[in-house]
Amino acid sequence: MPEQGTRGRTRGSGRRQWAVLAVGAVVAVAVGGLVLSTVSGSDDGPDGTGTPGATTTRSNGVEPGRAIAERESAAAAFPGGLAHQPDQDGQAARRAAAARADGERATAEQIDVIADQPVATWLTNPSESVTRQVVRRVVRGAEQQHRTPVFVLYAIPDRDCGSYSAGGTAEDAYLPWVRSAVREMAGSHAVVLVEPDSIAQIHVCERLGRERLRLLDRAVDELAGHGLTVYLDGGNEDRVPVTEMARWLRAAGVDRTQGFATNVSNFYRVDTERAYADRLADAIGGDPHFVIDVSRNGQGWRGTWCNPEGAGLGQAPHVTAGSTRLDALLWVKTPGLSDGTCNGGPAAGQWWESYALALVEHRQRD
């Protein structure tokens, strides 16, 4: 809510004005000292009431310590539009090719509905050398298309709080892993979605709290200054209260990024997710932008996040016209990959062909 202005105040006598000014000066000195001590001694708890590493007092109308980034336009964030993955990195493309080679033409054509769309590339392997090879290949392919590659960093320690997608790097290996990936991305204008679930999951996995937010804040430092467009984890509309999520995002360094991503690997409709994202952006302040994952939301929420029955592909991914804070609708999750061993699915991240074909069958029709 905007701060109330001072219009409509009546003027008092000259004596009253000087008295008010004198008192105001004393208050200003006291407040200034408090601000300096607060900024220099920031120690964030899990609620993210401060911003680690940002200690410069600003004069832009927001609380001290927040270094608000100048947000890019949607066109500048995604120059040329969305790049397609090389076939080697697209699981749907590989499976369609295999089906075609086996004479399964109808199956191949159905899987092509997925393979023909630009999908984000997930970086999940803790190996720095393997990760660099994938980044190099995807960046090279995007350069040939004159489009923007989208990467998802997904290797944070204690990933998924030990659930279906458990794993990630060792604690002391994460930032070197990020740094290694960034060296390959530098100058590519890539879009980077940082660790889906990593912030929202604090709500149900409290042990992640303070150290998780500090680690993400340091990862933002590693990503900054290399010509990349960065979005942090913004959860979704039905997960974390907006005020709480806003505090955590500020603690994770969202003010130094383009903004946040919502609905990653989930099923909520665009209209309700967009309303949530706008409320979250307002709560954060500084006008962060956002992207929404629409890969599997064609039938909306289906009662569970884990391999729900009846889900369908969402609308085709695309960059927006840039007239709002919504930068793009993306296919972040690769349709056809299992969410985990639930509802009959294989392990998380494994190709599940019957589910992929059902997503195509129930897809949103434009």
Q: Which positions are annotated as active-site residues?
A: 160, 197, 339
137 Cβ contact list (under 8 Å, min separation 6):
86, 88, 89
Distance CA 299, CA 56 (A): 46
| Residue 333: count of CB within 10 angstroms of its CB | 23
Please measure the distance between the N-terminal and C-terminal CA atoms of the chain and give it in whole angstroms: 37
User: Is the Cα torsion angle 298, 301, 303, 306 positive or negative in sign?
Assistant: positive
- Say how far apart CA 289 and CA 73 lie, in whole Å: 9
Tokens of 156: 């944070």
Backbone φ/ψ region at 153: left (φ over 0), alpha (ψ -120 to 50), beta: beta
Among candidates 244, 227, 125, which has minimal Cα distance to 184?
A: 227
Distances (CA, A) of 245 to 38, 221, 288: 22, 20, 13
Given a contact cutoff of 8 angstroms between Cβ atoms, the answer to whether 105 and 116 are in contact is: no
| CA-based radius of gyration for the chain | 23
Complete DSSP assignment for 224-248: TTSS-EEEEE---TTTS-HHHHHHH
**Which DSSP letter does residue 159 get?**
B
The two tokens of residue 242 are 């907006």
